[in-house]
């Protein structure tokens, strides 16, 4: 196991695996997540009970946003526990077949690392917003009674010592919530980036087949057995690796498809509630609430963009192999090599995508979700006013 993990250390996005998998599933973090689930579940039950006892439209409109975010938090952390075994197995399986960054030479390695540098900067930028959310949500900057019902209840019904306990729980849970918000999309994005790197290596290996042949107009190469054997070995290597990637991706896609409906439903509900609250409840809100809501909205958009980017990149990158194969000098290959090429083309013709119930995770999905959420938020705004 230790030797296999070494294979991933040259992976440009290895830090994402360390943060989202190794650190995220460490014993300490798992214990913290359990405590966070208990805290958020308790506050949610208290809020639901209070709303049931004092049910009115204004109460739902004012505090529904906070309750929706709490439900999303509980669901997100719970999903992390449910997929732990599968996520670790996927990482372990990947170590058995991934090509190292320098598999196709130093030139290709520099190309991959150059692309990785840009993506790493984007990841750092996104992580900064999640860290900012964990900080700005701390109660030291002001309470959450304007949009979280539990804060209001703690003021009215809790004694001093219970208020201190609630304050401590809030300080404890918000950073955990911020970290949990980035973990699932982080694991998804990391997986797609790893697939992207392997596809680049396959494409570069196929390009090297053409570059190493010299004069592509030399028809005598068709009868050159050494040439044909070298082509066959390179093609077989690429076909074998591509097949392993496809098999590994199928396991990954099944895992994503199992949790995708939950995230679509909760994500849509949270966007609706946030957009409604932003349009209706900020007129008389404090500055700290405006800042918090702005950060939360940005973080939600970043989560959505990470999911959409991962789905779109998967479709774009897996279709790249087919395009590269079409440029190969197949007219200089013998019958066996042409047969291998035809098999390779058929296996790579259909790009992979993350789809469930007719919904495909890509840029169009992200735009459609924002449009739908905005429409329903406008409906709620008109209902209230």
Count of the separate structural domains present in the chain: 1
* pLDDT on residue 43: 83
| 265-363-376-381 Cα dihedral, nearest 10 degrees | 120
CA distance 100 to 4: 12
DSSP-assigned states of every residue in 228-265? HHHHHHHHHHHHHHHHHHHHHHHHHHHHHHHHHHHHHH
CA 191 to chain centre: 8
Question: Where in the sequence is the domain holding 247, given as residue range(s)?
Answer: 2-384
* pLDDT on residue 10: 60
> Beta partners for 355?
360
- pLDDT tens profile 5-59: 455 556 777 777 788 888 888 888 888 888 888 888 888 888 888 888 888 887 8
* pLDDT on residue 4: 45
φ, ψ for residue 355, nearest 5 deg: -130, 145
Weakly modelled stretches of the chain, pLDDT under 70: 1-10, 155-164, 166, 211-224, 281
CA distance 153 to 60: 15
Residue 331 gets which letter from DSSP?
A: G
* pLDDT on residue 142: 77
* pLDDT on residue 3: 43
* pLDDT on residue 32: 87
* pLDDT on residue 307: 82
Are 87 and 21 within 8 A, CB to CB? yes
- pLDDT tens profile 132-145: 888 888 877 877 77
Are 99 and 241 within 8 A, CB to CB? yes
CA distance 115 to 12: 10
CA distance 108 to 97: 19
Could you give the C-alpha distances from 342 to 15, 46, 211, 222, 230, in angstroms and in order? 38, 63, 21, 17, 18
């Amino acid at each position: 196991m230790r030797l296999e993990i070494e294979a991933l250390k040259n992976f440009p996005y290895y830090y994402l695996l360390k943060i989202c998998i190794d650190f995220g599933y460490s014993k300490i973090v798992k214990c913290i997540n359990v405590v966070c689930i208990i805290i958020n579940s308790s506050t949610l039950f208290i809020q639901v009970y209070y709303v049931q006892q004092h049910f009115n439209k204004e109460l739902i409109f004012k505090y529904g946003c906070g309750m929706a975010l709490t439900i999303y938090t509980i669901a997100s952390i719970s999903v992390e526990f449910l997929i732990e075994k599968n996520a670790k197995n996927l990482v372990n399986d990947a170590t058995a077949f991934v090509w190292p960054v320098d598999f196709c030479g130093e030139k290709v390695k520099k190309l991959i690392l150059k692309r990785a540098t840009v993506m790493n900067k984007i990841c750092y930028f996104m992580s900064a917003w999640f860290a900012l959310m964990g900080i700005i949500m701390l109660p030291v900057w002001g309470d959450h009674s304007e949009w979280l019902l539990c804060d209001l209840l703690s003021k009215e019904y809790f004694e001093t010592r219970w208020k201190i306990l609630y304050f401590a729980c809030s300080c404890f849970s918000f950073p955990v919530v911020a970290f949990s918000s980035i973990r699932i999309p982080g694991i998804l994005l990391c997986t797609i980036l790893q697939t992207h790197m392997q596809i680049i290596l396959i494409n570069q290996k196929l390009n090297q087949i053409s570059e190493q042949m010299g004069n592509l107009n030399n028809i005598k190469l068709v009868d050159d057995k050494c040439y044909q054997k070298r082509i066959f070995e390179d093609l077989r290597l690429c076909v074998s690796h591509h097949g392993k990637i496809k098999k590994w991706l199928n396991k990954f896609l099944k895992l994503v498809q199992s949790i995708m409906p939950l995230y679509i439903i909760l994500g849509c509900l949270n966007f609706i509630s946030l957009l409604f609250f932003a349009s209706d409840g900020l007129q008389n809100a404090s500055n700290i609430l405006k800042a918090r809501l702005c950060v939360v909205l940005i973080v939600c958009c970043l989560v959505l963009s990470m999911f959409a980017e991962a789905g779109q990149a998967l479709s774009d990158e897996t279709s790249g192999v087919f395009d590269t194969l079409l440029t190969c000098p197949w007219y200089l290959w013998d019958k066996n090599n042409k047969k291998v090429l035809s098999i390779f083309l058929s296996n790579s013709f259909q790009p992979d995508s993350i789809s469930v119930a007719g919904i495909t995770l890509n840029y169009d999905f992200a735009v459609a979700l924002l449009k739908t959420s905005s429409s329903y938020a406008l409906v709620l705004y008109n209902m209230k006013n």
